Chains A and B, each alone.
Chain A
């Protein structure tokens, strides 16, 4: 081949190669921009909406004893926070039911609750006069029982608890002892039942469930500032961020750990004092646990052990092909900070969606069956 013919071949080849390159690059990268990088918002501090929410909840001015001395007017407080237990080794977890319900995770959970097409919910509403989706604001789980806050003005206390022994406990508060309960049925009849828990109501805003009336009264006394315990409540206003938050006793956490992690559980009990937990469900589910103790070295070692445990779990998930769990643990990290450390964990919403997909399917099926004549 002479040089002229060779040149033609090179030029033709070059044009062809450029065309092929353009097609390949177009195909390879596409012409749409990359999706936004996944971002997890770890709840680590109060933000604007949290402050606004806390501000609105400062509705209760505790009654003070008139000692004949001029006192500065008491500041309004959040009665629910005031009702929380005090002192070390106690547990209180607040679930922001209203906020959680409007979060992506709440919608998934609602799909699960409503998977019968909403029949049970309707029955509960008819029975109690309370719509959990409308009237319930917060739910607190403590080692003493349960506190529900919201608007319970339409609650049918008399129909439900009228047969029990009850007594007033301060202004606006009433305590019902354990006893029989009449449950009205949809056909107009009633069904009798027995509840072993004592119940307290407070100004149509709170519902306190305890093991006995004394526990319920203790909670109600804290609300009204009549409590005998010393120290502040487990959670102060500046810790009310996230859709779920609270303080867990290390002994409670140790019980949650499996039998294979007893060594870690014991170290946790020995070294840590308490664990403050915050959960954000505004996007992917992100959790921050602030573990605090007394000894910085021991806390650092504990943090390393926890980090190692999470890493091993992640590697195991990877090796077993459990990509969801591996992805979950991808965000896991421990942030040491002297005598405390923060443990951050996140669950991609997509992973939860996949796990709870069956709820959505069942709900659709139930709704379509209800719609059919």
Chain B
């Protein structure tokens, strides 16, 4: 069995935007290396000006790289045959306001070299939740509806790679659920998803791999659970009536307490609203954890809930970039 080539492979990618008449320039990408495995759901995050848009445009052949190589689905993005297998949703998709959605999709389908399939287009519109709006002009669509139509256009032709730039921007919470469901369906079908979203929770929920881009370079990249692994901190909830002093003596720290004593991973805070019976405990392994729990139970405390506490994506990003100016 052969390993499929990566959906996206970038080596030493540099892009410098030169000003007119050679008056200096701006280096947007400074030697970027990245591999996106086929079939993965990959999220790209980073602060403003990190080079994310330039990177996506380079991947799609919209921007010509200054140096480095880009291989998409095993070929060059300049090859139309390769781009035919890519579905792309730009961040600010400009749609023709006087058209209706089936006509727009039909045009995109023709540009993708697909055979005319009006029922197929209607099914696609139904899938993205626009079946009620097929007779309306696009100019009258809400922002969310436009995003859904853009997503439908990206999904045309069953692409092998979906490059989505802020796909849930402007969509209401229920709509986000729908979009998330569609993306997850696509990933399950084996489609590689490359997602750029400023909604880190969205990325966290959809993607299994993440790269953090800052200042034109990839700072961290890997499986989400590996990046977010917080170390040995556990969140425990005991039934009301547990003796706080006994629990604290057993190594449990109530949530909301100062974090100075925490031995967790850097950047982790024992924060949150103080809640009765909720504690955290640091345990290097399960033996230590069970010993601590045994001590708590010995003091009469009854365990209600136990879960491992890891770092969320925002914390991972903050930890990587070290700056509060976080955005997609």
Contact = CB atoms under 8 A, between A and B. Distances in A.
A2 B64 CA distance: 11
A2 B69 CA distance: 13
A3 interface: yes
Nearest to A3: B78
A2 B78 CA distance: 7
Interface in B67-101: 76, 78
A250 B104 CA distance: 78
B188 to A, nearest CB: 36
Contacts of B78: 2-3
A3 B77 CA distance: 11
Interface residues of B, number: 3
A94 B107 CA distance: 81
A1 to B, nearest CB: 9
Tell me what chain B mostly uses at the interface: helix, strand, loop, or mixed: loop
Interface residues of A, number: 2
Contacts of A2: 76, 78
A144 B23 CA distance: 100
Nearest to A1: B78
Interface in A12-47: none
Nearest to B76: A2
Contacts of B76: 2
A3 B78 CA distance: 8
Contacts, number: 4
A2 B76 CA distance: 10
Nearest to A4: B64
A117 B278 CA distance: 138
A3 B76 CA distance: 11
Contacts of A3: 64, 78
A285 B245 CA distance: 131
Nearest to B79: A2
Contacts of B64: 3
A169 B76 CA distance: 117
A3 B61 CA distance: 10
A140 to B, nearest CB: 81
Interface string A138-154: 00000000000000000
A67 to B, nearest CB: 100
Nearest to B64: A3
B70 to A, nearest CB: 13
B85 to A, nearest CB: 19
Nearest to A2: B78
A171 to B, nearest CB: 100
A277 B177 CA distance: 98
Interface in A309-324: none
B186 to A, nearest CB: 30
A37 to B, nearest CB: 50
Interface string A172-209: 00000000000000000000000000000000000000
Interface in B164-187: none
A151 B199 CA distance: 116
A341 to B, nearest CB: 59
A3 B65 CA distance: 12
B75 to A, nearest CB: 12
A108 to B, nearest CB: 71
A198 to B, nearest CB: 96
A169 to B, nearest CB: 99
Nearest to B61: A3
Interface string B24-66: 0000000000000000000000000000000000000000100
B79 to A, nearest CB: 10
B142 to A, nearest CB: 38
A2 B79 CA distance: 9
A4 to B, nearest CB: 9
B178 to A, nearest CB: 39
A244 B250 CA distance: 138
A102 to B, nearest CB: 71
A123 B78 CA distance: 97
B60 to A, nearest CB: 13
A198 B64 CA distance: 107
B256 to A, nearest CB: 59
Interface string A1-13: 0110000000000
B62 to A, nearest CB: 12
A86 B24 CA distance: 100
A6 to B, nearest CB: 9
A3 B64 CA distance: 9
B239 to A, nearest CB: 68
B252 to A, nearest CB: 63
B83 to A, nearest CB: 13
B312 to A, nearest CB: 42
Interface in A214-269: none
A2 B61 CA distance: 11
The 3 A-B residue pairs whose C-beta atoms are closest, nearest first, are A3-B78, A2-B78, A3-B64
Interface of A: 2-3
4 contacts: A2-B76, A2-B78, A3-B64, A3-B78
